Protein backbone atom coordinates (compact mmCIF):
# COMPACT_ATOMS: atom_id res chain seq x y z
CA UNK A 1 0.00 0.00 0.00
CA UNK A 2 1.19 3.54 -0.71
CA UNK A 3 2.44 5.62 2.24
CA UNK A 4 -0.56 7.28 3.87
CA UNK A 5 -0.55 9.27 7.09
CA UNK A 6 -3.07 7.62 9.46
CA UNK A 7 -5.94 9.75 10.69
CA UNK A 8 -6.50 11.76 7.52
CA UNK A 9 -10.16 12.59 7.01
CA UNK A 10 -11.34 11.83 3.47
CA UNK A 11 -14.80 12.65 2.14
CA UNK A 12 -15.93 10.45 -0.75
CA UNK A 13 -19.04 11.12 -2.83
CA UNK A 14 -20.93 8.38 -4.62
CA UNK A 15 -19.64 5.92 -2.04
CA UNK A 16 -22.50 3.40 -1.98
CA UNK A 17 -21.12 1.58 -5.02
CA UNK A 18 -18.48 1.72 -7.73
CA UNK A 19 -15.36 3.83 -7.52
CA UNK A 20 -16.39 5.55 -4.30
CA UNK A 21 -16.92 2.27 -2.49
CA UNK A 22 -13.73 0.75 -3.89
CA UNK A 23 -11.69 3.78 -2.81
CA UNK A 24 -13.10 3.56 0.71
CA UNK A 25 -12.14 -0.12 0.87
CA UNK A 26 -8.53 0.72 0.00
CA UNK A 27 -8.33 3.59 2.50
CA UNK A 28 -9.88 1.81 5.47
CA UNK A 29 -6.90 -0.46 6.30
CA UNK A 30 -4.37 2.42 6.33
CA UNK A 31 -6.02 4.38 9.12
CA UNK A 32 -8.10 6.89 7.17
CA UNK A 33 -11.19 8.39 8.73
CA UNK A 34 -13.93 8.32 6.12
CA UNK A 35 -17.02 10.40 5.44
CA UNK A 36 -18.97 8.47 2.82
CA UNK A 37 -21.88 10.16 1.08
CA UNK A 38 -24.43 9.08 -1.50
CA UNK A 39 -28.02 9.83 -2.37
CA UNK A 40 -28.62 6.15 -1.50
CA UNK A 41 -28.53 6.56 2.26
CA UNK A 42 -29.10 2.91 3.06
CA UNK A 43 -26.44 1.82 0.59
CA UNK A 44 -23.78 4.23 1.83
CA UNK A 45 -24.42 3.32 5.46
CA UNK A 46 -24.01 -0.32 4.45
CA UNK A 47 -20.67 0.51 2.82
CA UNK A 48 -19.50 2.27 5.99
CA UNK A 49 -20.45 -0.73 8.11
CA UNK A 50 -18.84 -3.24 5.73
CA UNK A 51 -15.47 -1.54 6.12
CA UNK A 52 -15.28 -2.87 9.64
CA UNK A 53 -13.50 0.17 11.09
CA UNK A 54 -16.16 1.24 13.55
CA UNK A 55 -16.50 4.94 14.18
CA UNK A 56 -13.71 5.79 11.72
CA UNK A 57 -16.35 5.67 8.95
CA UNK A 58 -19.75 7.32 8.68
CA UNK A 59 -22.32 7.16 5.90
CA UNK A 60 -24.45 10.18 5.03
CA UNK A 61 -27.41 10.49 2.68
CA UNK A 62 -26.64 13.53 0.52
CA UNK A 63 -27.85 14.86 -2.80
CA UNK A 64 -24.71 16.56 -4.14
CA UNK A 65 -26.83 18.69 -6.48
CA UNK A 66 -28.41 20.42 -3.47
CA UNK A 67 -26.09 23.20 -2.29
CA UNK A 68 -27.48 23.30 1.24
CA UNK A 69 -27.04 19.56 1.64
CA UNK A 70 -23.47 19.78 0.35
CA UNK A 71 -22.64 22.53 2.83
CA UNK A 72 -24.16 20.48 5.64
CA UNK A 73 -22.15 17.44 4.51
CA UNK A 74 -18.85 19.27 5.00
CA UNK A 75 -20.00 20.77 8.30
CA UNK A 76 -20.90 17.29 9.56
CA UNK A 77 -17.52 15.93 8.50
CA UNK A 78 -15.63 18.63 10.36
CA UNK A 79 -17.81 18.39 13.45
CA UNK A 80 -17.36 14.62 13.56
CA UNK A 81 -13.62 14.41 12.90
CA UNK A 82 -12.41 17.99 13.63
CA UNK A 83 -10.88 18.48 10.18
CA UNK A 84 -11.03 17.58 6.48
CA UNK A 85 -7.95 16.45 4.54
CA UNK A 86 -9.30 15.16 1.25
CA UNK A 87 -12.26 15.14 -1.14
CA UNK A 88 -12.94 12.48 -3.76
CA UNK A 89 -15.67 13.29 -6.29
CA UNK A 90 -17.00 10.17 -8.01
CA UNK A 91 -20.60 11.19 -8.79
CA UNK A 92 -21.31 11.26 -12.52
CA UNK A 93 -23.02 9.45 -15.36
CA UNK A 94 -24.99 10.15 -18.49
CA UNK A 95 -28.45 9.35 -19.73
CA UNK A 96 -26.88 8.46 -23.08
CA UNK A 97 -24.31 6.06 -21.66
CA UNK A 98 -24.58 2.66 -23.26
CA UNK A 99 -26.47 3.87 -26.34
CA UNK A 100 -25.10 1.98 -29.32
CA UNK A 101 -23.29 4.29 -31.73
CA UNK A 102 -23.61 7.22 -29.30
CA UNK A 103 -26.44 9.71 -29.33
CA UNK A 104 -26.14 12.32 -32.04
CA UNK A 105 -26.56 15.97 -31.18
CA UNK A 106 -29.77 16.09 -33.25
CA UNK A 107 -31.24 13.26 -31.18
CA UNK A 108 -30.09 14.59 -27.84
CA UNK A 109 -32.89 15.74 -25.59
CA UNK A 110 -32.20 19.25 -24.27
CA UNK A 111 -32.88 18.18 -20.70
CA UNK A 112 -30.32 15.37 -21.02
CA UNK A 113 -27.59 17.92 -21.73
CA UNK A 114 -28.40 19.86 -18.56
CA UNK A 115 -28.78 16.73 -16.44
CA UNK A 116 -25.43 15.33 -17.58
CA UNK A 117 -23.63 18.59 -16.80
CA UNK A 118 -25.34 18.72 -13.41
CA UNK A 119 -24.22 15.19 -12.52
CA UNK A 120 -20.65 15.50 -13.75
CA UNK A 121 -19.72 19.17 -13.40
CA UNK A 122 -22.07 20.97 -11.03
CA UNK A 123 -21.68 18.21 -8.43
CA UNK A 124 -17.89 18.61 -8.53
CA UNK A 125 -18.14 22.40 -8.33
CA UNK A 126 -20.51 22.29 -5.37
CA UNK A 127 -18.43 19.78 -3.40
CA UNK A 128 -15.14 21.56 -4.08
CA UNK A 129 -16.60 24.96 -3.22
CA UNK A 130 -17.93 23.65 0.08
CA UNK A 131 -14.82 21.64 1.01
CA UNK A 132 -12.05 24.12 0.17
CA UNK A 133 -12.40 26.29 3.32
CA UNK A 134 -12.13 23.16 5.49
CA UNK A 135 -9.10 21.89 3.56
CA UNK A 136 -7.46 25.28 3.86
CA UNK A 137 -8.16 25.35 7.60
CA UNK A 138 -6.43 21.96 7.94
CA UNK A 139 -3.28 23.39 6.37
CA UNK A 140 -3.86 21.88 2.96
CA UNK A 141 -5.29 18.75 1.43
CA UNK A 142 -6.15 16.75 -1.66
CA UNK A 143 -8.99 16.87 -4.16
CA UNK A 144 -9.49 14.08 -6.69
CA UNK A 145 -12.10 14.42 -9.44
CA UNK A 146 -13.39 11.84 -11.91
CA UNK A 147 -13.24 12.54 -15.63
CA UNK A 148 -13.33 9.87 -18.36
CA UNK A 149 -11.62 8.76 -21.53
CA UNK A 150 -14.64 10.45 -23.14
CA UNK A 151 -13.38 13.82 -21.90
CA UNK A 152 -9.83 13.13 -23.08
CA UNK A 153 -10.68 11.89 -26.57
CA UNK A 154 -14.25 11.00 -27.57
CA UNK A 155 -17.06 8.73 -26.46
CA UNK A 156 -18.32 5.74 -28.40
CA UNK A 157 -21.21 5.18 -26.02
CA UNK A 158 -21.86 8.28 -23.94
CA UNK A 159 -22.82 10.90 -26.49
CA UNK A 160 -21.77 14.56 -26.88
CA UNK A 161 -23.18 15.65 -23.52
CA UNK A 162 -21.01 13.13 -21.65
CA UNK A 163 -17.82 13.88 -23.58
CA UNK A 164 -18.29 17.62 -23.08
CA UNK A 165 -19.05 17.29 -19.36
CA UNK A 166 -16.04 15.08 -18.68
CA UNK A 167 -13.78 17.46 -20.63
CA UNK A 168 -15.12 20.26 -18.43
CA UNK A 169 -14.00 18.31 -15.36
CA UNK A 170 -10.45 18.21 -16.75
CA UNK A 171 -10.43 21.97 -17.32
CA UNK A 172 -11.96 22.68 -13.92
CA UNK A 173 -9.34 20.46 -12.27
CA UNK A 174 -6.46 22.32 -13.91
CA UNK A 175 -7.81 25.76 -13.04
CA UNK A 176 -8.55 24.82 -9.45
CA UNK A 177 -5.07 23.29 -9.09
CA UNK A 178 -3.55 26.55 -10.28
CA UNK A 179 -5.56 28.65 -7.85
CA UNK A 180 -5.12 26.41 -4.80
CA UNK A 181 -1.46 25.47 -5.06
CA UNK A 182 -0.52 28.34 -2.74
CA UNK A 183 -2.82 26.82 -0.09
CA UNK A 184 -1.05 23.45 -0.22
CA UNK A 185 -4.14 21.89 -1.81
CA UNK A 186 -3.52 19.60 -4.76
CA UNK A 187 -6.26 19.00 -7.33
CA UNK A 188 -6.04 16.07 -9.74
CA UNK A 189 -8.34 13.83 -11.73
CA UNK A 190 -8.54 10.25 -12.93
CA UNK A 191 -9.91 9.48 -16.39
CA UNK A 192 -11.06 5.87 -16.63
CA UNK A 193 -11.79 3.90 -19.73
CA UNK A 194 -14.58 1.30 -19.62
CA UNK A 195 -14.45 -0.11 -16.09
CA UNK A 196 -16.50 -2.94 -14.62
CA UNK A 197 -18.38 -1.01 -11.99
CA UNK A 198 -21.79 -2.33 -11.03
CA UNK A 199 -23.48 -0.02 -13.53
CA UNK A 200 -21.17 -0.82 -16.43
CA UNK A 201 -21.21 -4.55 -15.65
CA UNK A 202 -25.00 -4.61 -15.96
CA UNK A 203 -24.78 -2.98 -19.41
CA UNK A 204 -21.82 -5.12 -20.47
CA UNK A 205 -23.46 -8.42 -19.58
CA UNK A 206 -26.44 -7.64 -21.81
CA UNK A 207 -24.34 -6.96 -24.91
CA UNK A 208 -23.98 -9.64 -27.59
CA UNK A 209 -20.59 -11.32 -27.60
CA UNK A 210 -19.80 -9.83 -31.02
CA UNK A 211 -20.25 -6.29 -29.70
CA UNK A 212 -18.15 -7.02 -26.63
CA UNK A 213 -15.32 -8.38 -28.74
CA UNK A 214 -15.47 -5.31 -30.98
CA UNK A 215 -15.09 -3.02 -27.95
CA UNK A 216 -12.27 -5.10 -26.48
CA UNK A 217 -10.42 -5.07 -29.79
CA UNK A 218 -9.98 -1.30 -29.47
CA UNK A 219 -8.34 -1.61 -26.04
CA UNK A 220 -4.65 -2.59 -26.28
CA UNK A 221 -4.87 -4.40 -22.91
CA UNK A 222 -7.68 -6.51 -24.36
CA UNK A 223 -10.03 -6.19 -21.38
CA UNK A 224 -12.14 -3.79 -19.39
CA UNK A 225 -10.72 -2.27 -16.22
CA UNK A 226 -11.51 -3.37 -12.69
CA UNK A 227 -12.86 -0.76 -10.30
CA UNK A 228 -10.07 -1.53 -7.81
CA UNK A 229 -7.50 -0.56 -10.44
CA UNK A 230 -9.15 2.82 -10.81
CA UNK A 231 -9.40 3.23 -7.03
CA UNK A 232 -5.66 2.61 -6.82
CA UNK A 233 -5.06 5.69 -8.96
CA UNK A 234 -7.29 7.77 -6.68
CA UNK A 235 -5.45 6.57 -3.59
CA UNK A 236 -2.12 7.51 -5.19
CA UNK A 237 -3.27 11.13 -5.45
CA UNK A 238 -4.35 11.01 -1.78
CA UNK A 239 -1.15 9.36 -0.61
CA UNK A 240 1.94 10.93 0.93
CA UNK A 241 3.82 10.36 -2.34
CA UNK A 242 1.72 12.76 -4.43
CA UNK A 243 2.24 16.07 -2.63
CA UNK A 244 4.03 17.64 -5.62
CA UNK A 245 1.54 16.45 -8.25
CA UNK A 246 -1.28 18.84 -9.08
CA UNK A 247 -3.39 19.76 -12.09
CA UNK A 248 -2.83 16.31 -13.59
CA UNK A 249 -5.34 13.93 -15.17
CA UNK A 250 -4.24 10.30 -14.93
CA UNK A 251 -5.53 8.03 -17.70
CA UNK A 252 -6.52 4.55 -16.49
CA UNK A 253 -7.79 2.84 -19.61
CA UNK A 254 -5.62 -0.09 -20.68
CA UNK A 255 -4.10 1.98 -23.49
CA UNK A 256 -7.39 2.99 -25.11
CA UNK A 257 -6.21 6.61 -25.04
CA UNK A 258 -2.55 7.60 -24.75
CA UNK A 259 -1.34 11.16 -24.32
The catalytic residues are: 162
Exposed, middle or buried, 79 (CB in 10 Å: 0-12/13-18/19+)? exposed
Q: Please report which helix (H) or strand (E) contains residue 232, including its range.
A: helix 227-238
Q: What is the DSSP string of 82-139?
A: S---EEE------TTTT-TT---TTT--HHHHHHHHIIIIIHHHHHHHHHHHHHHHTT
- Contact criterion met (CB below 8 Å) for 13 and 69: no
Strand (E) or helix (H) holding 237: helix 227-238
The arrangement of strands across the sheet holding 86-88 comes to: 57-61, 33-38, 9-13, 86-88, 141-146, 185-192, 249-252
Amino acid sequence: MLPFTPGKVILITGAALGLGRATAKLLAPVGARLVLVDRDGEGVRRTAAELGIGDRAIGLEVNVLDWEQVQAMVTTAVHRFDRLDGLVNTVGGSSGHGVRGARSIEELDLADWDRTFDLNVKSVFYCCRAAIPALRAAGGGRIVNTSSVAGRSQSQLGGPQYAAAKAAVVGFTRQLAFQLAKDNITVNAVAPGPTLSERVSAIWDKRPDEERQEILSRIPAGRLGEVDELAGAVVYFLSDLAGYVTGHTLDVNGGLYMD
